[in-house]
Amino acid sequence: MKERLIASFAALSSREKNILVVFGAVLVLFAVGAVFLFFDDAVDTRREEIAERRSLMEKVTVHREAFRRARDREAATLLAIQNNETNLNSYLNGVRETYGVEISTIKELKAEKKGEFQKEMIEVGIRSIEMDVLMSFLYALEDKARFVFVPSISIKKRFDGKNYEVTMIVATLKEAAEK
Protein backbone atom coordinates (compact mmCIF):
# COMPACT_ATOMS: atom_id res chain seq x y z
CA MET A 1 0.00 0.00 0.00
CA LYS A 2 2.90 2.31 0.76
CA GLU A 3 4.35 1.67 -2.71
CA ARG A 4 1.00 2.42 -4.29
CA LEU A 5 0.79 5.78 -2.53
CA ILE A 6 4.33 6.67 -3.57
CA ALA A 7 3.58 5.66 -7.19
CA SER A 8 0.35 7.70 -7.19
CA PHE A 9 2.16 10.72 -5.74
CA ALA A 10 4.97 10.42 -8.33
CA ALA A 11 2.39 10.33 -11.12
CA LEU A 12 0.98 13.74 -10.04
CA SER A 13 2.06 16.95 -11.68
CA SER A 14 3.93 19.54 -9.64
CA ARG A 15 0.79 21.72 -9.37
CA GLU A 16 -1.24 18.79 -8.02
CA LYS A 17 1.61 17.97 -5.59
CA ASN A 18 1.60 21.57 -4.33
CA ILE A 19 -2.19 21.50 -3.86
CA LEU A 20 -1.92 18.20 -1.99
CA VAL A 21 0.85 19.58 0.29
CA VAL A 22 -1.14 22.75 1.00
CA PHE A 23 -4.24 20.64 1.71
CA GLY A 24 -2.22 18.46 4.09
CA ALA A 25 -0.79 21.54 5.81
CA VAL A 26 -4.29 23.00 6.19
CA LEU A 27 -5.50 19.72 7.70
CA VAL A 28 -2.59 19.71 10.17
CA LEU A 29 -3.26 23.37 11.10
CA PHE A 30 -6.95 22.58 11.50
CA ALA A 31 -6.14 19.63 13.78
CA VAL A 32 -3.73 21.76 15.85
CA GLY A 33 -6.33 24.57 16.07
CA ALA A 34 -9.06 22.14 17.10
CA VAL A 35 -6.86 20.67 19.82
CA PHE A 36 -5.97 24.20 21.01
CA LEU A 37 -9.63 25.27 21.11
CA PHE A 38 -10.65 22.08 22.91
CA PHE A 39 -8.00 22.54 25.62
CA ASP A 40 -8.68 26.28 25.86
CA ASP A 41 -12.37 25.55 26.46
CA ALA A 42 -11.47 22.91 29.05
CA VAL A 43 -9.15 25.38 30.84
CA ASP A 44 -11.85 28.09 30.82
CA THR A 45 -14.36 25.63 32.26
CA ARG A 46 -11.93 24.69 35.05
CA ARG A 47 -11.24 28.37 35.79
CA GLU A 48 -14.98 29.03 36.10
CA GLU A 49 -15.38 26.02 38.41
CA ILE A 50 -12.49 27.23 40.57
CA ALA A 51 -13.92 30.76 40.75
CA GLU A 52 -17.33 29.36 41.70
CA ARG A 53 -15.80 27.19 44.42
CA ARG A 54 -13.87 30.18 45.78
CA SER A 55 -17.05 32.24 45.97
CA LEU A 56 -18.84 29.38 47.70
CA MET A 57 -15.97 29.03 50.16
CA GLU A 58 -16.19 32.77 50.92
CA LYS A 59 -19.92 32.42 51.50
CA VAL A 60 -19.32 29.48 53.82
CA THR A 61 -16.81 31.57 55.76
CA VAL A 62 -19.29 34.43 56.09
CA HIS A 63 -22.09 32.08 57.14
CA ARG A 64 -19.76 30.30 59.57
CA GLU A 65 -19.07 33.61 61.30
CA ALA A 66 -22.79 34.44 61.38
CA PHE A 67 -23.48 31.00 62.82
CA ARG A 68 -20.84 31.50 65.53
CA ARG A 69 -22.30 34.89 66.46
CA ALA A 70 -25.81 33.41 66.61
CA ARG A 71 -24.56 30.47 68.68
CA ASP A 72 -22.86 32.87 71.10
CA ARG A 73 -26.03 34.98 71.39
CA GLU A 74 -28.05 31.81 72.01
CA ALA A 75 -25.62 30.68 74.72
CA ALA A 76 -25.82 34.12 76.38
CA THR A 77 -29.62 34.03 76.22
CA LEU A 78 -29.73 30.52 77.68
CA LEU A 79 -27.44 31.58 80.50
CA ALA A 80 -29.58 34.65 81.19
CA ILE A 81 -32.73 32.51 81.28
CA GLN A 82 -31.06 30.02 83.63
CA ASN A 83 -30.12 32.89 85.96
CA ASN A 84 -33.55 34.58 85.71
CA GLU A 85 -34.95 35.02 89.23
CA THR A 86 -37.79 37.41 88.34
CA ASN A 87 -40.79 37.19 90.63
CA LEU A 88 -43.71 38.21 88.42
CA ASN A 89 -45.93 39.41 91.28
CA SER A 90 -43.33 41.73 92.78
CA TYR A 91 -42.18 42.94 89.35
CA LEU A 92 -45.79 43.64 88.32
CA ASN A 93 -46.43 45.44 91.60
CA GLY A 94 -43.37 47.69 91.08
CA VAL A 95 -44.43 48.65 87.54
CA ARG A 96 -48.03 49.13 88.71
CA GLU A 97 -46.94 51.56 91.43
CA THR A 98 -44.76 53.52 88.99
CA TYR A 99 -47.69 54.19 86.64
CA GLY A 100 -50.48 54.32 89.24
CA VAL A 101 -52.44 51.47 87.66
CA GLU A 102 -55.14 49.86 89.78
CA ILE A 103 -55.19 46.09 89.27
CA SER A 104 -58.50 44.45 90.10
CA THR A 105 -57.52 40.77 89.77
CA ILE A 106 -54.34 38.73 89.79
CA LYS A 107 -54.49 35.01 89.18
CA GLU A 108 -51.42 32.78 89.02
CA LEU A 109 -51.64 30.30 86.16
CA LYS A 110 -50.05 26.87 85.92
CA ALA A 111 -46.50 27.05 84.59
CA GLU A 112 -45.92 25.51 81.17
CA LYS A 113 -42.79 23.48 80.61
CA LYS A 114 -41.29 23.98 77.15
CA GLY A 115 -38.25 21.74 76.81
CA GLU A 116 -35.62 22.83 79.30
CA PHE A 117 -37.50 26.05 80.09
CA GLN A 118 -40.57 26.91 82.06
CA LYS A 119 -43.00 29.70 81.27
CA GLU A 120 -44.43 31.16 84.49
CA MET A 121 -47.63 33.15 83.93
CA ILE A 122 -50.11 35.30 85.81
CA GLU A 123 -53.43 36.65 84.58
CA VAL A 124 -53.98 40.31 85.35
CA GLY A 125 -57.31 42.15 85.23
CA ILE A 126 -57.65 45.94 85.12
CA ARG A 127 -61.18 47.34 85.35
CA SER A 128 -60.62 50.88 84.15
CA ILE A 129 -57.57 52.42 82.48
CA GLU A 130 -56.94 55.12 79.90
CA MET A 131 -55.27 54.03 76.64
CA ASP A 132 -52.16 56.21 77.00
CA VAL A 133 -51.58 54.94 80.56
CA LEU A 134 -52.14 51.37 79.36
CA MET A 135 -49.59 51.76 76.55
CA SER A 136 -46.99 53.21 78.93
CA PHE A 137 -47.72 50.44 81.43
CA LEU A 138 -47.30 47.74 78.76
CA TYR A 139 -44.03 49.23 77.48
CA ALA A 140 -42.67 49.33 81.03
CA LEU A 141 -43.98 45.85 81.81
CA GLU A 142 -42.27 44.04 78.94
CA ASP A 143 -38.59 43.69 79.79
CA LYS A 144 -36.17 41.72 77.61
CA ALA A 145 -33.50 41.58 80.30
CA ARG A 146 -35.92 39.86 82.71
CA PHE A 147 -37.66 37.90 79.93
CA VAL A 148 -41.03 39.38 80.90
CA PHE A 149 -43.56 39.53 78.08
CA VAL A 150 -47.31 39.73 77.43
CA PRO A 151 -48.35 36.75 75.27
CA SER A 152 -52.07 37.52 75.45
CA ILE A 153 -54.14 40.65 75.98
CA SER A 154 -57.84 41.49 75.70
CA ILE A 155 -58.94 45.15 75.62
CA LYS A 156 -62.62 46.14 75.80
CA LYS A 157 -64.06 49.67 75.81
CA ARG A 158 -65.96 50.51 78.98
CA PHE A 159 -69.41 52.02 79.08
CA ASP A 160 -68.02 55.47 80.01
CA GLY A 161 -66.42 55.68 76.53
CA LYS A 162 -62.94 56.89 77.49
CA ASN A 163 -61.53 54.06 79.60
CA TYR A 164 -60.85 50.43 78.81
CA GLU A 165 -61.16 47.12 80.61
CA VAL A 166 -58.07 44.95 80.15
CA THR A 167 -57.33 41.29 80.79
CA MET A 168 -53.81 40.13 80.03
CA ILE A 169 -51.42 37.33 80.71
CA VAL A 170 -47.92 38.31 81.84
CA ALA A 171 -45.21 35.66 81.55
CA THR A 172 -41.51 35.11 82.12
CA LEU A 173 -39.08 32.36 81.13
CA LYS A 174 -37.09 30.44 83.69
CA GLU A 175 -35.08 27.26 83.78
CA ALA A 176 -37.35 24.25 84.27
CA ALA A 177 -37.00 22.61 87.66
CA GLU A 178 -35.71 19.03 87.51
CA LYS A 179 -38.20 16.48 88.85
Same domain, 62 and 92: no
pTM here is 0.59
Per-residue H/E/C for the chain:
CHHHHHHHHHCCCHHHHHHHHHHHHHHHHHHHHHHHHHHHHHHHHHHHHHHHHHHHHHHHHHHHHHHHHHHHHHHHHHHHHHCCCCCHHHHHHHHHHHHCCCCCEEEEEEEEEECCEEEEEEEEEEEEECHHHHHHHHHHHCECCCCEEEEEEEEEECCCCCCEEEEEEEEEEEECCCC
Same domain, 62 and 111: no
- Please identify, among 79, 108, 135, the residue that sits at the C-terminal boundary of a domain: 79
Same domain, 93 and 171: yes
Res. 8: pLDDT tops 70: yes
The pLDDT of residue 115: 78
The pLDDT of residue 178: 64
- Please identify, among 55, 79, 103, the residue that sits at the C-terminal boundary of a domain: 79
The pLDDT of residue 70: 92
pLDDT band with cut points at 50, 70 and 90 for residue 123: very high
Same domain, 141 and 103: yes
65-79 pLDDT, tens digit each: 999 999 998 888 888
Same domain, 102 and 164: yes
Same domain, 53 and 119: no
CATH number of the domain within which 107 lies = 3.30.70.60
Same domain, 19 and 66: yes
The pLDDT of residue 40: 85
Res. 33: pLDDT tops 90: no
Res. 5: pLDDT tops 80: no
> Which residue type is seen at 42?
A
Mean pLDDT for the chain overall: 86
Same domain, 95 and 67: no
Q: Which domain holds residue 15?
A: 2-79
Same domain, 99 and 72: no
Q: Count structural domains, the chain.
A: 2
Res. 50: pLDDT tops 90: yes
Q: Work out whether strand 117-129 and strand 105-114 pair parallel, antiparallel, or are unpaired.
A: antiparallel
101-116 pLDDT, tens digit each: 888 899 988 888 877 8
Same domain, 93 and 166: yes
- Please identify, among 29, 47, 79, the residue that sits at the C-terminal boundary of a domain: 79
Res. 93: pLDDT tops 80: yes
Same domain, 116 and 74: no
Same domain, 118 and 51: no
Res. 62: pLDDT tops 90: no
